[in-house]
């Protein structure tokens, strides 16, 4: 080991110094940073190692190396060499009635599917059965894989508590990183950063797997964005990993980190290009589409933002993915606000219920700010100030500092509109959960836009229709049982809300609207 360069620029060459198949070889291989070079070696010799795996002699070093080779092949499940090899292994295991090998191969297949479709309930149930069986058999590698792989996908979907429960008894770097991402989703940003640093220390000591470094990139990118601070990204070390050779699912983590860096530097168009440069393949890479939708809206492109948000229905079709669902609802509500405020409020409240149920604190804060801003825009100053103040307090407690540009603009306008309202102190004292309860009690209360046909009261609409019918003010007063002065007041309001200057313009517009 002393002959190997301590920086491990080409760590696979370490195998040349030790006997192939020995426990030392396994030790060296397990921590390689030059993943792709080793993977090619494993692919070339996997058919030689597979019989050892299935022979059932688990005391031989050759069997250990064969296990490792299978795991390496498994990592890129789309590789053409993987599926024929697995089918051959399945046939041999069935022929020999090797239940342990069958269990391992089943785990490989389920985890591979999980990586692409996400934490589907049937896959999670099957992996739970495998995990229990593996523990009973003492197959710790299989049990570890059947615990951590679903945990990664469950947390990526926005179910932090469930993901943490899957790795509650595990202490390795990957389990720590899963806890880091879960903490981040719950708004525990300082804890998330500390856990990521702890995991990096372990990875530096043992030169951990590429997937662990990918999780580190996801974790630190999220922390950097929340803190509005590029410095956490500086600790991402790409040396020793051939990024060009990695599957796109792994590249998505580094794409996210690069896009976040561009966001924090104020280069929104560069960030958008980064988030849009590749189609999602693995379930985790849909996080880029969330960021793309928000960045498009920050750039003022509502059409592109809506299209990206609608795409998030794809990973949510057969999987409970509250992070993707709530983000889509947030962006769609922002897109609809100007044209359908009540529809936008409905979208925002549905998204808020989803985010709150799963403890997605950062999304909850964004949604409280959106709902509060919409209420402020429509004259409900007290309700707005309470929600905005509660969100502001939660931001401070979490150190959640970043806002996309469009959100910063509408929150600033809303805060200016409610400045001095006595509801602010009341809202600032609320916990985040209490603020959600308050917002949900407001759900269903309709708000009236400030302008346009939907802004007219029922009486104002009746007056406008009577004008279109050719009636004079005295005739309208007689028909609607009101004074002439009241008719005149209603007409002043109608003209202001619709932007018309006289009865002829109003009458023509009413006729056009009726024709539609």
Question: Per the domain annotation, does 222 fall within a domain?
Answer: no
Mean pLDDT rounded to a whole number for the chain: 80
Give residue-wise pLDDT tens across range 78-125.
445 556 656 766 777 787 787 877 787 788 778 878 888 899 999 999
- Counting the structural domains of the chain, the total is 4
Question: Per the domain annotation, does 228 fall within a domain?
Answer: no
One domain for residues 144 and 272: no
d(CA 39, CA 34): 9
**H/E segment holding residue 484:** helix 484-498
Backbone dihedral angles phi then psi of residue 80, each to the nearest 5 degrees: -65, -25
Q: Residue 446's pLDDT band (boundaries 50, 70, 90)?
A: low
One domain for residues 153 and 30: yes
One domain for residues 243 and 293: yes
One domain for residues 101 and 207: yes
One domain for residues 81 and 170: yes
pLDDT at 332: 96
Please state the rounded mean pLDDT for residues 477-492: 85
Please state the rounded mean pLDDT for residues 416-442: 90
Question: Per the domain annotation, does 45 fall within a domain?
Answer: yes
One domain for residues 200 and 75: yes
pTM for the whole thing?
Answer: 0.74
- Among 120-129, 189-198, 496-505, name the one with the lowest average pLDDT: 496-505
Q: Left (φ > 0), alpha (ψ -120 to 50) or beta: where does 447 sit?
A: beta
Higher pLDDT pick, 142 / 184? 184
Largest CA distance in the chain: 105
Q: Residue 137's pLDDT band (boundaries 50, 70, 90)?
A: confident
One domain for residues 184 and 41: yes
One domain for residues 62 and 200: yes
Please state the rounded mean pLDDT for residues 41-55: 42
Please state the rounded mean pLDDT for residues 422-445: 89
Please state the rounded mean pLDDT for residues 147-156: 93
pLDDT at 82: 55
Domain final residue, candidates 390, 425, 448 = 448
d(CA 256, CA 258): 5
Question: Per the domain annotation, does 269 fall within a domain?
Answer: yes
Q: If you average pLDDT over each of 14-28, 61-75, 165-179, which comes out highest?
A: 165-179
Question: Per the domain annotation, does 27 fall within a domain?
Answer: yes
pLDDT above 50 (res 74):
no
d(CA 101, CA 113): 19
Q: Residue 217's pLDDT band (boundaries 50, 70, 90)?
A: confident
Domain final residue, candidates 265, 293, 317 = 317
Question: Per the domain annotation, does 295 fall within a domain?
Answer: yes
pLDDT at 348: 96
Q: Residue 211's pLDDT band (boundaries 50, 70, 90)?
A: low
pLDDT above 50 (res 65):
no
Q: Assign 326 to helix, strand or coil.
A: helix
Question: Per the domain annotation, does 310 fall within a domain?
Answer: yes
Question: Per the domain annotation, does 230 fall within a domain?
Answer: no
pLDDT above 90 (res 251):
no
Alpha helices in 378-451 (DSSP H): 381-398, 405-417, 423-428, 432-442
d(CA 39, CA 211): 14
Residue 344 sits in which domain range? 320-448
One domain for residues 119 and 19: yes
Q: Residue 170's pLDDT band (boundaries 50, 70, 90)?
A: confident
pLDDT at 282: 82
One domain for residues 87 and 207: yes
d(CA 361, CA 188): 9
Find all residues with CB under 8 Å of 288, minimum gap 6, and list them. Answer: 252, 255, 256, 259, 275, 276, 278, 280
CATH of residue 489: 1.10.10.10
One domain for residues 325 and 313: no
pLDDT at 86: 65
Alpha helices in 97-188 (DSSP H): 99-117, 121-137, 140-156, 160-166, 173-185
Q: Residue 42's pLDDT band (boundaries 50, 70, 90)?
A: very low
One domain for residues 133 and 251: no
Domain final residue, candidates 257, 287, 317 = 317
pLDDT above 70 (res 38):
no
pLDDT above 90 (res 161):
yes
């Amino acid at each position: 080991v002393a002959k190997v360069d301590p920086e491990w620029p080409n760590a696979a060459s370490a195998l040349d110094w030790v006997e192939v198949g020995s426990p030392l070889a396994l030790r060296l291989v397990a921590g390689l940073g030059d993943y792709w070079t080793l993977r090619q070696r494993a692919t070339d010799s996997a058919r030689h190692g597979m019989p050892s795996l299935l022979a059932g002699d688990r005391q031989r070093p050759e069997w250990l190396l064969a296990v490792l080779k299978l795991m390496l092949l498994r990592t890129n499940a789309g590789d053409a060499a993987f599926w024929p090899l697995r089918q051959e292994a399945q046939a041999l295991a069935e022929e020999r009635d090797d239940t342990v090998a069958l269990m391992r191969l089943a785990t490989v297949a389920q985890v591979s599917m999980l990586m692409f479709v996400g934490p589907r309930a049937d896959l999670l149930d099957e992996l739970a059965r495998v995990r229990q069986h593996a523990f009973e058999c003492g197959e710790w590698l299989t049990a570890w894989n059947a615990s951590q792989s679903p945990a990664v996908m469950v947390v990526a979907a926005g179910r932090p508590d469930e993901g943490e429960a899957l790795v509650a008894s595990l202490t390795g770097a990957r389990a720590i990183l899963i806890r880091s991402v879960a903490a981040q989703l719950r708004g525990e940003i300082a804890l998330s950063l500390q856990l990521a640093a702890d995991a990096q220390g372990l990875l530096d000591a043992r030169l951990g797997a590429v997937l662990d470094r990918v999780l580190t990139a996801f974790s630190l990118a999220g922390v950097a964005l929340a803190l509005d601070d590029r410095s956490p990204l500086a600790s991402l070390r790409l040396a020793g990993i051939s990024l060009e050779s990695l599957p796109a699912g792994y590249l998505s983590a580094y794409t996210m980190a690069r896009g976040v860096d561009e966001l924090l530097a104020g280069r929104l168009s560069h960030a958008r290009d980064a988030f849009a440069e590749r189609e999602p393949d693995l379930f985790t890479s849909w996080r880029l589409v969330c960021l793309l939708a928000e960045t498009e809206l920050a750039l003022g492109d509502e059409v592109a933002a809506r299209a990206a948000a609608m795409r998030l229905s794809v990973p949510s079709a057969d999987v409970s993915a509250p992070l993707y669902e709530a983000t889509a609802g947030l962006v769609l509500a922002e897109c609809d606000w100007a044209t359908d405020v009540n529809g936008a409020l409905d979208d925002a409240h549905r998204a808020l219920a989803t985010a709150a149920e799963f403890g997605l604190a950062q999304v909850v804060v964004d949604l409280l700010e959106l709902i509060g801003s919409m209420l402020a825009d429509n004259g409900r100053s007290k309700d707005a100030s309470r929600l905005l103040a509660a969100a502001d307090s939660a931001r401070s407690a979490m150190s959640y500092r970043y806002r996309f540009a469009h959100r910063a603009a509408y929150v600033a306008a809303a805060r200016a509109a409610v400045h001095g309202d006595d509801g602010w102190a009341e809202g600032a004292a609320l916990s985040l959960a209490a603020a959600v309860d308050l917002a949900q009690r407001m759900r269903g209360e309709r708000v009236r836009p400030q302008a346009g046909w939907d802004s007219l009261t029922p009486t104002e609409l009746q007056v406008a229709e009577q004008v279109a019918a050719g009636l004079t003010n005295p005739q309208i007063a007689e028909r609607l049982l009101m004074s002439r002065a009241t008719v005149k007041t209603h007409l002043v309001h109608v003209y202001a809300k619709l932007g018309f200057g006289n009865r002829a313009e109003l009458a023509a517009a009413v006729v056009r609207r009726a024709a539609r």
